[in-house]
Amino acid sequence: MKKIIVPIDFSEHSEYALKAAAKLAKKNNAELLVLHMLEMSDIMLTATDEFQNQKVIYFFKLAEQRFENFLKKDYLEGITVIPIVKHFKVFSEVNDVAIKNKADIIVMGSHGSSGMKEFFVGSNTERVVRHSEIPVLVVKKELPEVDFEVVVYACDFSEDSIESYLKAKKMTESMKAKMYLVHVNLPNDRFKSSLEIEQSVVEFLNKAEDNLDKMDTIHYISDYTVEEGILNFSNKVGADLIAIPTHGRKGLAHFFEGSISEDLANHATLPVMTFKI
């Protein structure tokens, strides 16, 4: 992990993300690319009127100054911080910045507990997650440490999930963390017997790992919703981080054919990391 991107909007939650990213940067000797999306209308940016042009320059300079002041933090000392200002508030651009700079991870803050609309439905975080080709770490409160020792990875053991699983595995191994794979069995028409789940797991691991060495990290649990199952299992094993795959622009809700993200985002106090399928 050599380059970390942190989109900020000067809010309390974006500072939580900046602090978490700073801890990760110090731990991995990484650079921080701190990104601010400056919202300016097309009218202002394309105006030929001299007064409008002066307004654009004024607001841009004002944003730059605020950005510069925001980055004057003691916890950033000793870290290489590269400020980036984009003129449009287009959150798909975060992925473009990540690819251009060969970043390893995006760290974002989220309101989470204040409701689904603040987190993954029409929110800035959701837009970044849906477009991101690299992992996105979402934090909802200040993290005292970023030593993720126990990670719970939610999985349906489908072939589509193999790529995201391997990305999550690589990330957790770099963090020297223990990763549990959990499948939540629901009491509906999609219910599977233990034998059916085990057959799916064997096929999944053979394709992903070419062996069954990870069988002891697999857990099947029953609950009324996927979200409750993940949260309950995470509490049981003392997880530091929840990892989930995402279908990108289709939205996280498509992964479990329901809404894996809603209750998870609203009720999980743990940070959540997403991996693109």
Say whether 83 sits in a helix, a strand or coil.
Answer: strand
This prediction has a pTM of: 0.84
Mean pLDDT of 95-100: 90
CA 15 to chain centre: 15
Task: Report residue 68's pLDDT band, with 50, 70 and 90 as the boundaries.
Answer: confident
The predicted pLDDT at position 195 comes to 92
pLDDT tens-digit map of 8-25? 888 888 899 999 999 999
Mean pLDDT of the chain: 82
Between vectors from CA 28 to CA 12 and to CA 265, what angle results, nearest 5°? Answer: 40
Q: Express as a percent the part of the chain with pLDDT over 70.
A: 80
Euclidean distance between CA atoms 167 and 160, whole angstroms = 13
- Does domain 3-139 fall under CATH 3.40.50.620? My reply is yes
- Does domain 150-276 fall under CATH 3.30.70.141? My reply is no
With contact defined as beta carbons under 8 Å apart, do 241 and 151 qualify? yes
Task: Report residue 86's pLDDT band, with 50, 70 and 90 as the boundaries.
Answer: confident
Mean pLDDT of 146-160: 91
Q: What are the domain boundaries of the chain?
A: 3-139, 150-276
The predicted pLDDT at position 42 comes to 47
Q: Express as a percent the part of the chain with pLDDT over 90.
A: 43
Q: Give residues with Cβ within 8 angstroms of 144, minimum separation 6.
A: none
Helix ranges, 71-123 (H): 93-100
Euclidean distance between CA atoms 81 and 22, whole angstroms = 9
How is 20-72 classified by DSSP, letter by letter? HHHHHHHHHT-EEEEEEE----HHHHH---HHHHHHHHHHHHHHHHHHHHHT-
Euclidean distance between CA atoms 173 and 25, whole angstroms = 17
Check pLDDT > 80 for residue 249: no
